[in-house]
């Protein structure tokens, strides 16, 4: 593979097992399989949406990529560089190339630091710039995120949630990263502010060519922002594909249920449509189900699903789905189950 066609980020077989310790001796009594063999790519300047219910392992995946926590297994490559093998100055440089924006703009900004301090800190830490040089850079960054220079000496308390998130994005942009991992960046905001911040990310992607891993539990938001979507369930990616394609024709029963839960703006259409109700809470990652991890909640579950974990199967446009309905293995009436039970084209 040449440098030209390699993805910006390449994640393969990523795993994180958290030990659960008890007692004075801190004995390991159980293990949480938070991320359980996750693989995906993010292209240069691409926005990839990562969706799934609470506890599915989205934030842990983001933190593993940035090496804020160490993986149990698997690899993370940024432009072909194995991030896990980096040490010292090389690791610091790669960390500059990947930044994170967090969900809660109220707790992620230091209340006692001005905008100039918050956004300008990376320039002080990495380049030892003078205050004047830093302020000039901060004003440029504030403009990038649609805020004026008059905000420079104000404190976070003076801003709305949407403005705070813009400040957090400005700070993430300071070192001209190639990838921003945005972990639920709009979940704490009201609806109209959500779309403004999503539009800001789209604008930055277009103007600066920065790539995003956009983490959210709301598929409707991710679908607007991303060209591709990865759907995560109980530590694993169960479907990846073109955003429009996944949204219009979800292959995996879990993606189908998530999409079915999104309200339709037209009241008549909303009344007429059939909803797939997700049964109960997801199983605990302390004790994930055997076979297909979704089988305890799946309306299409078959015998094989109890024991055999489905492998990712290619769909259209380079997507994949991990479900026995889409493998050519199990047959019904002489045809693959994917064709017999469901009307799909992948």
Q: Residues in the site for ligand ATP, rule: CB under 6 A?
A: 18, 32, 34, 52, 54-60, 217, 285
CB of 18 to ligand SF4, least distance (A): 25
∠ Cα 256 259 263 (to 5°): 145
DSSP state of 151: G
CA atoms of 44 and 284, how far apart (whole Å): 35
As a whole number of Å, the CA-based R_g of the chain is 22
CA atoms of 232 and 185, how far apart (whole Å): 18
- Pick 35 or 179: Cβ nearer ligand ATP: 35
CB of 288 to ligand SF4, least distance (A): 13
CB of 234 to ligand SF4, least distance (A): 11
Q: Is 276 in the site for ligand SF4 (CB under 6 A)?
A: no
Helices 115-127 and 161-173 pack at an angle, to 10 degrees, of 10
- Pick 116 or 236: Cβ nearer ligand ATP: 236
Q: Is 33 in the site for ligand SF4 (CB under 6 A)?
A: no
Q: Which does 301 bind (CB under 5 to 8 A by kind): Mg ion, ligand SF4, ligand ATP, none?
A: ligand SF4
- Pick 205 or 255: Cβ nearer ligand SF4: 255
End-to-end CA distance of the chain: 27
Q: Which of residues 39-98 bind Mg ion (CB under 5 A)?
A: 59
Q: Which of residues 230-269 bind ligand SF4 (CB under 6 A)?
A: 252-253
34-48 b/e (C-beta count within 10 Å ≥ 16 → b): bbbebbbbbeeebbb
Q: Which residue has the tokens 């990376």?
A: 122
- Pick 175 or 302: Cβ nearer ligand SF4: 302
Helices 191-208 and 131-144 pack at an angle, to 10 degrees, of 110
* Of the candidate residues 200, 294, 312, 319, the single one contacting ligand SF4 (CB under 6 A): 294
Give the up-direction half-sphere exposure of residue 148: CA atoms within 13 A in the CB hemisphere.
Answer: 1
* Of the candidate residues 14, 189, 324, 338, the single one contacting ligand SF4 (CB under 6 A): 324
Q: Which residues bind Mg ion (CB under 5 A)?
A: 59
Q: Which residues bind ligand SF4 (CB under 6 A)?
A: 252-253, 292, 294-295, 298, 300-302, 305, 310, 323-325
């Amino acid at each position: 593979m040449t440098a030209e066609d390699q993805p910006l980020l390449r994640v393969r077989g990523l795993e994180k097992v958290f030990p659960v310790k008890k007692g004075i001796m801190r004995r390991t009594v159980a293990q949480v399989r938070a991320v359980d063999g996750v693989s995906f790519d993010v292209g240069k300047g691409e926005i990839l949406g990562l969706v799934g219910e609470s506890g599915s392992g989205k934030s842990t995946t983001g933190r593993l990529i940035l090496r804020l926590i160490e993986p149990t297994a698997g690899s993370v490559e940024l432009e072909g560089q194995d991030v896990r093998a980096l040490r010292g100055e090389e690791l610091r440089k790669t960390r500059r190339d990947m930044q994170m924006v967090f969900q809660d703009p109220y707790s992620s900004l230091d209340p006692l630091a001005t905008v100039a301090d918050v956004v300008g800190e990376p320039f002080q830490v990495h380049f030892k710039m003078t205050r004047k040089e830093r302020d000039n850079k901060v004003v440029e960054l504030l403009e990038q995120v649609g805020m004026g220079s008059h905000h420079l000496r104000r404190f976070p308390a003076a801003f709305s949630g949407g403005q705070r998130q813009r400040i957090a994005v400005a700070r993430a942009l300071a070192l001209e990263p190639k990838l921003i991992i945005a972990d639920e960046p709009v979940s704490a905001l009201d609806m109209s502010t959500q779309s403004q911040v999503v539009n800001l990310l789209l604008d930055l992607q277009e103007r600066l060519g920065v790539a995003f891993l956009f983490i959210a539990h709301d598929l409707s938001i991710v679908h607007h922002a991303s060209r591709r979507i990865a759907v995560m369930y109980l530590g694993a990616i169960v479907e990846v594909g073109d955003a429009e394609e996944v949204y219009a024709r979800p292959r995996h029963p879990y993606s189908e249920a998530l999409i079915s839960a999104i309200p339709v703006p037209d009241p008549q259409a909303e009344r007429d449509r059939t909803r797939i109700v997700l049964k109960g809470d997801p199983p605990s990652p302390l004790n994930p189900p055997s076979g297909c991890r979704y089988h305890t909640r799946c309306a299409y579950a078959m015998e094989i699903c109890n024991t055999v974990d489905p492998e990712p199967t290619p769909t259209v446009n380079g997507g994949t789905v991990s479900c026995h309905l889409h493998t050519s293995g199990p047959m019904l009436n002489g045809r693959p189950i994917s064709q017999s039970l469901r009307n799909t084209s992948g």
